Amino acid sequence: MSALAVAITRLAHGDGLPLPDYATAEAAGMDLAAAVETDLTLAPGARALVPTGLAIALPSGFEAQVRPRSGLALRHGLTVLNSPGTIDADYRGEVMVILANLGAAPVTITRGMRIAQMVVAPVARVAWQAVAHLPESARGSGGFGSTGTG
């Protein structure tokens, strides 16, 4: 599979930090590092906007999704609050991560700490077609829990 070329720039406060990278050959997400100048401690229930020191220019027809890292979520209750956060193809500002501490203990974010992961994905454009009635389906209008008991 060929790689998608995406322009990226390090901002001054991101100098020396790694570019987003895949931890394994088959990983879907690239790790994002915190570009904090000093340690940032999130108390239980607190949230903060954490800089990455990076700005990107996605090609038209793509988005980047910012998601939690599973290890941080499991060990510390640290999550990305608006998960997945969406970075649009026309956004040129800094990639930022809204972290929330849902755990029972404070969590300290340090410079270079891997705080989230980013997945780049294609985006379909929708052309709505207003109709009087929707076509029938096997599921119909069944909602939450309508397809099984568990």
Asked if the structure places residue 129 within a domain, the reply is: no
Quote the pLDDT of residue 22.
95
Angle at 108 between CA 18 and CA 51, to 5 degrees: 45
Quote the pLDDT of residue 149.
62
Calculate the alpha carbon distances from 98 to 17, 52, 94, 95, 140 in Å. 19, 11, 13, 10, 37
Asked if the structure places residue 97 within a domain, the reply is: yes
Tokens of 11: 């901002």
Cα–Cα distance between 97 and 73 in angstroms, integer? 14
Cα–Cα distance between 32 and 98 in angstroms, integer? 12
Asked if the structure places residue 136 within a domain, the reply is: no
Residue labelled with tokens 């406060």: 13
Residue labelled with tokens 């499991």: 74
Q: How many domains does the chain have?
A: 1
Asked if the structure places residue 66 within a domain, the reply is: yes
Quote the pLDDT of residue 150.
58
Quote the pLDDT of residue 140.
87
Quote the pLDDT of residue 144.
77
Q: What is the CATH number of the domain that holds 103?
A: 2.70.40.10
Quote the pLDDT of residue 37.
97
Q: Which domain range does residue 36 map to?
A: 7-122
Closest CA to 99 of 45, 56, 55: 45
pLDDT along the chain (150 residues), means of 10: 93 97 95 98 98 98 97 96 96 98 98 98 97 93 73
Quote the pLDDT of residue 57.
98
Quote the pLDDT of residue 2.
85
pTM given for the model: 0.89
